[in-house]
Amino acid sequence: MRNSSRGAVDPFIVMDVMEAARQAEDAGRHVIHMEVGQPGTPAPALARSALQSAMSADALGYTVALGLPALRQRIARLYGDWYNVDLDPARVVVTPGSSGGFILAFTALFDAGDRIALGAPGYPSYRQIMKSLDLLPLEVQTRAEARFQMEPSDLEGLDYQGMMVASPANPTGTMLGREALGALIGAAQERGAAFLSDEIYHGIEYEHKAVSALQISDDVCVINSFSKYFSMTGWRVGWLVLPPGNVRQVERLAQNLFICAPHAAQVAALAAMDAGDELEANMDVYRENRRLMIDGLPKAGFDRIAPPDGAFYVYADVSHLTDDSRAFARAILDEAGVAVTPGLDFDPLRGGGTLRFSYARATADIAEGLDRLQRFMRERGHID
Ligand SMILES: Cc1ncc(COP(=O)(O)O)c(C=O)c1O
């Protein structure tokens, strides 16, 4: 059978790393997982028990395309609680993960051939989804001094119909402050480009609260998810917040593309939003893991790092150690039994010299992983 050219997207390298780690585990090796961008914790207990009750009381058929009204209302309330933003629930659309949200938003907002500015390094699926929809990702090489976030000066002279940011970002964990985010929103709006803000790591922040694009403008598309802070990756539920004028178009697309986000997951997600204590206990783990990483990575010779503002990643410059991060990550897996992600996933141009370390798992694993990394680097003669 023939294949489309727009469907010929690159593989998600971290998935290949996960597969290599799984094979090593099948062969009896113990692997520390610093590659995966997902919490080791399950969905909150409240979420799981809400679903148990719903399963005995309800057929859990399709929901309306925009999502359970109670969930949309509860999400709107979150904006009041977290950001002091008064949000109309009618602007909230529940999606099959933020990944489903990207497909809906990109399809609703852009035409084939439109150009969307986004920073590199960045989450790889943005550009792959865009490519599969015949959109053109316009990757801007961000500066380390700007903590790998786009700046308006990067965009001067460029032609684009959309701009997309993530704060906290994957793979760097850096955030855009109110002023920097406002400047980017202003630059996009000045030229009539749609502004999209991936806020999936909100809630997982350390020194300062993350700023939502909705605190700055109503004329933005915010994408969020239950995957990270709410610890529900496999449940596949996320949301969009849209300007009122864009909701109906997204609704029509959602009806046709997905019908709805999984009903069971929506029930669980609604309950998860009241699981504050459990979610904050997860945050205590991330906080301690972050402390261990900031202390332990430099001791292991990975000293070109910046403390992340949020999320659960550290992005390390290893260009003095290798120009082939894929081979280097493979050696770390084979020799040290630690799975890490090569930067090429996030930055095809410069990622040969970077690695991403995830610290989303249990603290004991992080401590063991750091010990193993230190041993590996000592054996290679990179540290004393
Ligand atoms: C920045 C970012 N956005 C979106 C996603 C996709 O998340 P989901 O589809 O599970 O909501 C991820 C997953 O790692 C991510 O890192």
Question: Which residues have C-beta within 8 Å of that of residue 24, sequence separation ≥ 6?
Answer: 31, 333, 334, 337
Q: What residue type is 148 in one-letter code? A: F
What is the 3-state composition of the chain as percent helix, strand, coil, each rounded to the nearest 5? 45, 15, 40
Ligand 1, atom 16, lies closest to the CA of 170
Average pLDDT, the chain: 96
138 Rama sector, left if φ>0, alpha if ψ -120 to 50, beta otherwise: beta
Question: Six-digit token pair at 327?
Answer: 């081979």
pLDDT at 373: 98
Task: From 35, 75, 94, 98, give the residue whose CB has the most ligand 1 atoms within 8 Å, as the site to mutate.
Answer: 98
Helix, strand, or coil (residue 346) = coil
Degrees, nearest 5: CA angle 309-312-318: 85
Containing 131, the helix (H) or strand (E) segment is: helix 124-132
pLDDT at 318: 97
pLDDT at 18: 86
pLDDT, tens digit, for every residue of 326-375? Answer: 999 999 999 999 999 999 989 999 999 999 999 999 999 999 999 999 99
Residue 223's pLDDT band (boundaries 50, 70, 90)? very high
In SS3 terms, 61-128 reads as CCCCCCCCHHHHHHHHHHHHHHHCCCCCHHHEEEECHHHHHHHHHHHHHCCCCCEEEEEECCCHHHHH
pLDDT at 12: 81
pLDDT at 1: 96
pLDDT, tens digit, for every residue of 125-148? Answer: 999 999 999 999 999 999 999 999
pLDDT at 86: 98
Atom of ligand 1 nearest to the CA of 311: 16
Question: Six-digit token pair at 129?
Answer: 């989804």
Atom of ligand 1 nearest to the CA of 225: 11
Peptide bond into 137 cis (omega under 30): no
pLDDT, tens digit, for every residue of 16-60? Answer: 888 889 999 999 999 999 998 899 999 999 999 999 999 999 999
**Ligand 1 pocket list (CB less than 6 A):** 37, 97-99, 123, 166, 170, 198, 200, 225, 227, 233, 238
For residue 14, pLDDT beyond 90? no
For residue 243, pLDDT beyond 90? yes
Angle, helices 69-83 vs 263-272, to 10°: value is 30
Residue 324's pLDDT band (boundaries 50, 70, 90)? very high
pLDDT, tens digit, for every residue of 267-316? Answer: 999 999 999 999 999 999 999 999 999 999 999 999 999 899 999 999 99
Task: From 175, 225, 315, give the residue whose CB has the most ligand 1 atoms within 8 Å, as the site to mutate.
Answer: 225
